Amino acid sequence: MYIVTGGAGFIGSAMIWKLNQMGIDDILVVDNLASTDKWKNLVNLRYTDYLHRDHFLEMVSGEDDPFGTEGIVHMGACSSTTEKNADFLMENNTRYTQVLCQFALTHGARFLNASSAATYGGGEFGFSDDHAGIARLKPLNMYGYSKQLFDLWAMRAGVLDQIACIKFFNVFGPNEYHKGDMKSVICKAHRQIKEEGRMRLFRSYRAQYPDGGQMRDFVYIKDCVDILWWLLEHPEAGGIINVGTGIARTWNDLANAVFAAMGKKPSIEYIDMPEIIRDKYQYLTRAEMGKLRGLGYTTPFMSLEDAVKDYVTGYLAKEDPYLDSRGI
């Protein structure tokens, strides 16, 4: 059995879709559905069972493996970069991951864990996934710090090379609809453009970056799950691994791609950045992708324009993106 935590969430549900594509449906979904719309992400998928995250934690805290676990794709976490409850993040993101990692290693199961590019902070030390630089990173928010703490724990425990900690950059694509303010700008922009004929981007507060010229390494969810599947199939590929495209593009590039996919002329309004994030804002992210390529992953990434077009026309343009779309 494969276990996907956060299985009803964005990357988790997309990973179940990928496993289904590969003919696998003996899957345990672990999540906290509560009263959210995340359940809709599961409707088009095939899996064996569902467990609440707290019940699952109890079951993996013992000595036995009640699941016959082949691999664990641990995408479950609080991913809000504005979450202020540090105790919650320590328990939910850091300690939970430690327990699950120990369970996987004890029972010989492949363990993939979602780290984050948020661990790189302001980028003052670059974006290299070389282990030698882990300890000096200074995340700008508590979410990034909770992910950094697990990476450091795994390194101190001597298990980092036995698992894969994936540092996702700016992921976008189908099944992020439930994420509220944490949805990608593409998802938000599609609605803005549809309703108002324009979209909004933050102004820049650094002279070297024009408004909308802040840069991100945008990576499509379908590329991400292809990499996760490859990592499941290659247990020798371990350590911290960046997942981006290795190319930084501006928010203006992104906006223009959305307008093009919708067949509309660009109309962008630049607005003030909220003060709560102004001092912690990343102006540039760009994944160094040499490690993944060196490990043997050779599949090219979709271009930003092609990925945005696929997302907009294949999913966001549907009346109900959850249920009316193909695939994911």
Q: Which amino acid is at 46?
A: R
Going from the C-alpha of 159 to that of each of 153, 195, 226, 238, 254, the distances in angstroms are 9, 50, 24, 9, 38
Question: Can you give the CATH number for the domain in which 46 is found?
Answer: 3.40.50.720
Residue 145 has pLDDT above 60, yes or no: yes
- Across all residues in the chain, what is the average pLDDT? 94
Does 32 fall in a domain?
Answer: yes
pLDDT of residue 123: 87
Residue 324's pLDDT band, with cuts at 50, 70 and 90, is: low
Residue range 81-135, pLDDT digits in tens? 778 899 999 999 999 999 999 999 999 999 999 999 999 988 889 999 999 999 9
Residue 192 has pLDDT above 80, yes or no: yes
pLDDT of residue 328: 67
Domain limits for position 127: 2-173+218-247+283-302
pLDDT of residue 36: 87
Lowest mean pLDDT among 74-83, 117-126, 302-311, 314-323: 314-323
Residue 325 has pLDDT above 60, yes or no: no
Report how far residue 56's alpha carbon sits from residue 61's, in angstroms, rounded to the nearest whole number. 9
Contact of 127 with 106, CB cutoff 8 Å: no
Residue 323's pLDDT band, with cuts at 50, 70 and 90, is: low
* Percentage of the chain modeled with pLDDT above 90: 87
Residue 234 has pLDDT above 70, yes or no: yes
Does 313 fall in a domain?
Answer: no
DSSP 307: H
- Looking at the DSSP bridge assignments, the partners of residue 193 are none
DSSP 34: T
pLDDT of residue 302: 97
Domain total in the chain: 1
pTM for the model: 0.94
Report how far residue 151's alpha carbon sits from residue 236's, in angstroms, rounded to the nearest whole number. 18
Does 24 fall in a domain?
Answer: yes
pLDDT of residue 280: 79
Does 166 fall in a domain?
Answer: yes
Residue range 19-77, pLDDT digits in tens? 999 999 999 999 999 888 899 999 999 999 999 999 999 999 989 999 999 999 999 99
Does 269 fall in a domain?
Answer: no
Q: Which two tokens stand for residue 190?
A: 């599609």
Active-site residues, by number, are 143, 179
Does 192 fall in a domain?
Answer: no
Mean pLDDT within 291-296 = 97
Mean pLDDT within 294-306 = 97
Does 324 fall in a domain?
Answer: no
pLDDT of residue 301: 97
Could you please report the per-residue DSSP string of 60-95? HSSSS-TT--SEEEE--S---TT---HHHHIIIIII
Does 273 fall in a domain?
Answer: no
